[in-house]
Amino acid sequence: MAVGIFDSGLGGLTVLDAVSARMPDQPFVYFGDNAHAPYGVRDADDVYDLTCKAVKRLWDEGCDLVILACNTASAAALRRMQESWIPADKRVLGVFVPLIEALTERQWGDNSPPREVEVKHVALFATPATVASRAFQRELAFRAIGVDVEAQACGGVVDAIEDGDMILAEALVRSHVDALKRKMPDPQAAILGCTHYPLMEKEFQEALGADVSVYSQAKLVAESLADYLERHPKMKGQGEVSKFLTTGDARTVSTRATQFLRRRIEFEAA
């Protein structure tokens, strides 16, 4: 067994890189649903169905613990999966909670009532589906009060990154930041609510300004996962070799993933 990491495309590789660096001896199985990417423009039922299929495939690989390294899946599918679909001996975790815990400076597992926090004005950059779900605001409300969240749907950014067109991606980032600032001129913090966006963190920071704290997910998720596995060691599994699965063309995805991470990645057909 290993720990499963799922994303609709290549963005989850930023999370994989961070968790692999944090836990170099832990094997992972990465599943990219590249044939159906991007999820950010799909409706909630479609995202739910595709996510369930992907998680089931990772369970078949022996991954009792699966990380949804996809904000759209975490936003549109995770709560529904946890309420009615996931069996008692399996775990599926999302990427929002570690981010919100860092933003609100709450310790892992702190279930105390929501309270006021220092940050009052937060910009959320995410896919259209994540923004429409309002999942970030819902999870934040469990932990903090008095926080104004302005969400910006960043259409086109994921497609540009997946296509390797970083010039277009940078232009889109600046356009979306400009649109956000027209609605919230002075955000204190910015959430990069898509696992593709860490690749554009520098561009987001430059467009927002040095006085805005930018929160990116990969390292936060890695720390939370390490903590979770320390408390639930049975979920670590017994596998020794990591592997990469895709619903897309394995050769094409391998090439793009290698460019994405700047190290050789070999995918195989799921």
Please state the φ and ψ torsions of residue 248, each to the nearest 5 degrees. -90, -165
How many Cα neighbours within 13 Å face the side chain of 211? 5
Closest CA to 101 of 221, 228, 268, 238: 221
Helix (H) or strand (E) holding 65: strand 65-68
- Say which of 52, 63, 70, 154 is annotated catalytic: 70
How far apart CA 100 and CA 11 sit, in angstroms, is 19
Tokens of 152: 């910006």
Concerning whether 63 is annotated as a catalytic residue, the answer is no
Tokens of 250: 């394995």
- DSSP-assigned states of every residue in 90-120: -EEE-SHHHHHHHHHT--TT--SPPEE-S--
- Chain centroid to CA 259: 20
Please state the φ and ψ torsions of residue 54, each to the nearest 5 degrees. -65, -45
- Say which of 52, 63, 154, 194 is annotated catalytic: 194
Concerning whether 52 is annotated as a catalytic residue, the answer is no
In angstroms, what CA-CA distances link 161 with 9, 81, 135, 165, 173? 10, 29, 24, 6, 11
Tokens of 245: 């699965």
Residues 6+ apart with CB under 8 A from 73: 6, 7, 8, 39, 47, 50, 51, 94
Catalytic residues: 70, 194
